[in-house]
């Protein structure tokens, strides 16, 4: 499906902001997307999403939506459901895939059910015995809220004594908290665009892990693309990422985060259906490595909302 003229998109709402803990990141993604679309003469308009989004979309007579929302209310199927009800085409995955991928616990269960490698985990609460958890998962554990992104509320612990503090921090953001076995190895991310996995990026940070600070604020995070793997090993990880994205019925574009341990086994960590889209984010970085500049990337994402038969009319 190829759009040849900006007019084929009609009036486009770039949905950004929202009410999640990732609001500020979303505003940056939305601003970058808006500027890119407008540079290609698309009739695109910024919409800072609030609870009245259905009325805003209707009153604004928008014909399609570019979703640049991150976190709850925008990446979890909620706004996708509103747009489905209004019969407005939108970018990215549908209601079910969005809800699944946003829920780390549900994602783990789907991956395990599909026979895909993901680190061992436990749901934890105030009744969890920390010493028993460490005996099951090991002393190095990642504690995370089940429904947040951008590493918000996440902590890496290295002893049972640190688990209670980490659990309380995660619980500030979510009533459901999971503990995940830490994988020793290197971290990679695989961007998905249509039916293709873009070149892998290997992440390197001097911090304890690739946290919010490393993602958005630090200047010592390093991104390696080419990632350093052999072509065969890179293709193997890319295929695994595509299988994971398909397992949750992801569509259009997204990102799969993985670790590769010292035995060369890749482990799926998370699936993102609306990853960051600033010009410094990971998906645009992988796209550039494929020769796709940022304005072309957002164009390609948006054109996925146009049915093939509509393209043929132009």
Digit-coded pLDDT (tens) for 220-255: 678 999 999 999 999 999 999 999 999 999 999 999
pLDDT at 161: 84
Q: What mean pLDDT is predicted for residues 186-210?
A: 86
Tokens of 127: 């009744």
Q: Is 78 helix (H, G, I), strand (E, B) or coil?
A: helix
User: Do the bridges between strand 11-16 and strand 43-48 make them parallel or antiparallel, or are there none, so unpaired?
Assistant: parallel
> Of 178, 196, 172, 185, which is closest to residue 256 (Cα–Cα)?
196
Q: Rounded to the nearest 5°, which phi and psi values hold at 2?
A: -125, 125
Cβ atoms of 283 and 275 closer than 8 Å: yes
Mean pLDDT of the chain: 90
Torsion of CA 193, 214, 140, 201, to 10 degrees: 30
* Whether residues 216 and 269 fall in one domain: yes
Which band of pLDDT confidence, cut at 50, 70 and 90, is reported for residue 307? confident
Distances (CA, A) of 95 to 84, 102, 116, 179, 314: 8, 11, 22, 26, 30
Which band of pLDDT confidence, cut at 50, 70 and 90, is reported for residue 151? low
* Whether residues 109 and 141 fall in one domain: no
H helices within 60-190, ranges in order?
78-86, 95-102, 104-113, 130-137, 163-171
Report the alpha-carbon distance of residue 64 to residue 266 in Å, rounded. Answer: 37
Higher pLDDT residue, 7 or 212? 7
Identify the DSSP state of 199: P
Query: At residue 138, does pLDDT exceed 70?
Result: yes
Cβ atoms of 183 and 138 closer than 8 Å: no
pLDDT at 207: 55
Min mean pLDDT across 62-71, 139-148, 206-215, 219-228 is at: 206-215
Report the alpha-carbon distance of residue 259 to residue 166 in Å, rounded. Answer: 21
Q: Is 308 within the bounds of a domain?
A: no
Q: Which residues are catalytic?
A: 22, 150, 216, 255, 257, 270, 272, 276
pLDDT at 146: 83
Report the alpha-carbon distance of residue 58 to residue 56 in Å, rounded. Answer: 5
Which band of pLDDT confidence, cut at 50, 70 and 90, is reported for residue 206? low
What is the domain extent for residue 155? Answer: 121-181
Tokens of 145: 């809220």
* Whether residues 111 and 167 fall in one domain: no
* Whether residues 63 and 132 fall in one domain: no
* Whether residues 138 and 227 fall in one domain: no
Which band of pLDDT confidence, cut at 50, 70 and 90, is reported for residue 210? very low
**Domain count within the chain:** 3
Query: At residue 163, does pLDDT exceed 80?
Result: yes
* Whether residues 110 and 250 fall in one domain: yes
Report the alpha-carbon distance of residue 92 to residue 163 in Å, rounded. Answer: 36
> Of 145, 125, 119, which is closest to residue 22 (Cα–Cα)?
145
* Whether residues 223 and 110 fall in one domain: yes
Tokens of 133: 């958890």
């Amino acid at each position: 499906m190829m759009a040849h003229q900006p007019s084929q998109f009609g009036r486009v709402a770039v949905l950004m902001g929202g009410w999640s803990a990732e609001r500020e990141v979303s505003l940056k993604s939305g601003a970058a997307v808006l500027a890119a679309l407008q540079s290609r003469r698309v009739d695109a308009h910024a919409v800072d999403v609030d609870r009245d989004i259905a009325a805003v979309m209707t009153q604004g007579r928008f014909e399609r939506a570019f979703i640049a929302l991150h976190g709850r209310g925008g990446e979890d199927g909620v706004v996708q459901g509103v747009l489905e009800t209004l019969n407005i085409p939108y970018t990215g995955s549908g209601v079910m895939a969005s809800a699944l991928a946003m829920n780390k616990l549900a994602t783990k269960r789907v991956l395990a059910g599909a026979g895909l490698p993901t680190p061992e985990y436990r749901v934890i609460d105030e009744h969890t015995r920390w010493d028993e958890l460490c005996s099951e998962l090991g002393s190095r554990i990642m504690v995370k809220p089940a429904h947040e992104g951008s590493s918000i509320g996440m902590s890496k612990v290295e002893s049972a004594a640190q688990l209670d503090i980490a659990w309380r921090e995660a619980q500030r953001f979510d009533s459901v908290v999971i503990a995940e076995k830490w994988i020793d190895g290197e971290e990679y991310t695989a961007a998905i665009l249509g039916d293709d996995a873009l070149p892998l990026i290997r992440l390197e940070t001097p911090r304890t892990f690739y946290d919010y600070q490393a993602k958005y604020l630090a200047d010592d995070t390093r991104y390696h693309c080419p990632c350093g793997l052999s072509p065969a090993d890179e293709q193997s990880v890319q295929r695994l990422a595509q299988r994971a994205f398909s397992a949750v019925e992801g569509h259009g574009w997204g990102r799969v985060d993985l670790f590769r341990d010292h035995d060369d086994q890749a482990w799926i960590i998370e699936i993102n259906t609306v990853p960051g889209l600033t010009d410094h984010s990971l998906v645009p970085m992988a796209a550039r490595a494929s020769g796709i500049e940022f304005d072309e990337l957002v164009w390609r994402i948006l054109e996925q909302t146009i049915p093939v038969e509509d393209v043929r009319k132009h």
